[in-house]
Amino acid sequence: MRGFALLLTPDGQVLASSDPAHYPAAQPVTCLLPGPQTHAVLTALRGDALEGTEASGQERFVFVTEPVWSQEKRILGVMYVQVSTPSTGTILLAFAQGWLRSGLFLFVLLIPPCTLVGALTTRGQVRRLHQLVRATARFANGDYTQRIAGHLQDEIGQLEAQFNQMAEQLVESMASQRRLTEQQARREERARLEQELQTAQAIQRSLLPKAVPTLPGWQIAAYYQPAREVGGDLYDFLPLADGRWVLVIGDATDKGVPAALLMTSVRSMVRAAALVMDAPGALLAHVNDLLYVDTPTRMFVTCFYAVLDPQSGRLRYANAGQDLPYRRHRDGVSQLWATGMPLGMMPGTRYEEHEVIVAQRGATRRCFLGQNCHAARLQGPDRSAESEC
């Protein structure tokens, strides 16, 4: 027995062949197959499956054509399978040569069973070829679970085994390609996020003071280092019209981009309110009410707000839940105590306001405010007396 399979394009050319030596790819089927088989292929290209048999010399050909449909019911091509078997006449001749001397009666007696065996064999082969073609069409339409349970070791059985092997390799290749695509997508997403974080970091650092104030008799220093690319920490200096300076230290809950966005809003609110409001406690209460309206649940901002008079060393301050600053002086260390809820937690909150003298005129003036990533240091020229906060 000898058989082969062809996968044909809609224009009747060979796309794939199990016997490329005799049926090469890109060749028209009209040049490779006889008239009946070519007619069957052209019929399948119009959407009708066809099967048939053809005798040639000592062989008998059984062929099946099946159109391959897309999900949109459009013909993608044709599957053609052909198997050749010895003809019934050859079988009869072999028997006749062995039993010629037994008489005409035995010869006539063998004709019906031989014919029946040939018909049954042909029908079984055609049925298996139809099953192979249907499985190929379903696989081409996206049903990658198609497999054929073949047990016979004939030509069609080899085609069935090759189909199963091809299906397994194709499914594995598709899974590998899908993994590579997902990995590439994750890498691109990670690169995009890193680029966005770098941009956010640059924007956040641009909102911090470019330089610390330069005040006669005072030395000011600041340090900032977020835990991540961006964070919710903030410090700020803002000059007032009468020569005083506003000192702000803040920290938003959580870390990352949400905290940075929240702290950016607080900075804008504090700067706008500082231009029209003088009292630190009233200013924090005003910012708290504004922030409460738009702040998401479980997010808030702690803030220490102070107004420094460089001439007198007088420091008026209020605290919205920020860790208490410490004032160090010759007699020891004391906290700059002031109570108040963090900004954005409860509407209508009131904030205590206090006042302290950081240093008298002509004294050494130093001030350290905040914790973690904020520090402000103020120092005067005369070291005869010392007061720090």
Where a domain ends, among 133, 158, 176? 176
Whether 219 and 172 share a structural domain = no
176, 201, 217 - which closes a domain: 176
Q: What's residue 326's pLDDT? A: 85
Residues 142 and 228 in one domain: no
Average pLDDT over residues 253-267: 81
Domain count for the chain, please give it: 2
User: Pairing between strand 326-329 and 332-335?
Assistant: antiparallel
Q: What is the dihedral of CA 378, 382, 384, 386, to 10 degrees?
A: -10
pLDDT of residue 385: 36
Same domain, 217 and 345: yes
**Mean pLDDT throughout 370-384?**
42
Picking from 160-169, 212-221, 281-290, which range would have the lowest pLDDT averaged per residue?
A: 160-169
Is 191 domain-assigned?
A: no
* Mean pLDDT value across residues 147-166: 75
Q: Is residue 185 part of a domain?
A: no
Tell me whether residue 202 is in a domain: no
* Domain, as residue range, for 237: 209-388
Q: Indicate which CATH number applies to the domain containing 157.
A: 3.30.450.20
In the structure, what pLDDT confidence band is assigned to residue 100 with cuts at 50, 70 and 90? very low
Give the residue-averaged pLDDT of 342-349. 91
pLDDT exceeding 70 applies to what percent of the chain? 77
Residues 164 and 227 in one domain: no
Secondary structure E strands in the chain: 2-8, 14-17, 50-56, 59-69, 75-86, 233-239, 245-252, 301-309, 314-320, 326-329, 332-335, 353-357, 364-366, 386-388
- Residue 172 and residue 213 in one domain: no
- Residues 136, 274, single domain; the answer is no
| Domain annotation covers residue 267 | yes
| pLDDT at residue 52, rounded to an integer | 77
129 and 239 assigned to the same domain: no
Residue 201 domain-assigned (yes or no): no
Tell me the per-residue pLDDT of 295-342, one tens digit each, with 9 for 90 and over.
Answer: 877 889 999 999 999 988 899 999 999 988 888 777 888 889 898 999
Q: Are residues 54 and 125 in the same domain?
A: yes
105-125, pLDDT tens digit by residue?
Answer: 555 565 666 555 555 556 777
Domain identity same for 123 and 226: no
Residues 144 and 286 in one domain: no
The CATH number given to whatever domain includes residue 271 is 3.60.40.10
Q: Residue 375 — very low, low, confident or very high, per pLDDT cuts 50/70/90?
A: very low
**Domain membership flag for residue 279:** yes
Rg of the chain in Å (alpha carbons): 45
Residue-wise pLDDT for 49-84, tens only, equals 878 777 766 677 788 888 888 777 888 788 888 887
Q: Specify whether 254 is located in the same domain as 377.
A: yes
Question: What secondary structure does DSSP assign to 236-282, as a single string?
Answer: EEEE-TTS-EEEEEEEESS-SHHHHHHHHHHHHHHHHHHTT---HHH
Does 187 map to a domain?
Answer: no
Say if 196 falls within a structural domain: no
| Strands of 37-189, DSSP E | 50-56, 59-69, 75-86
In terms of domains, do 279 and 236 share one? yes
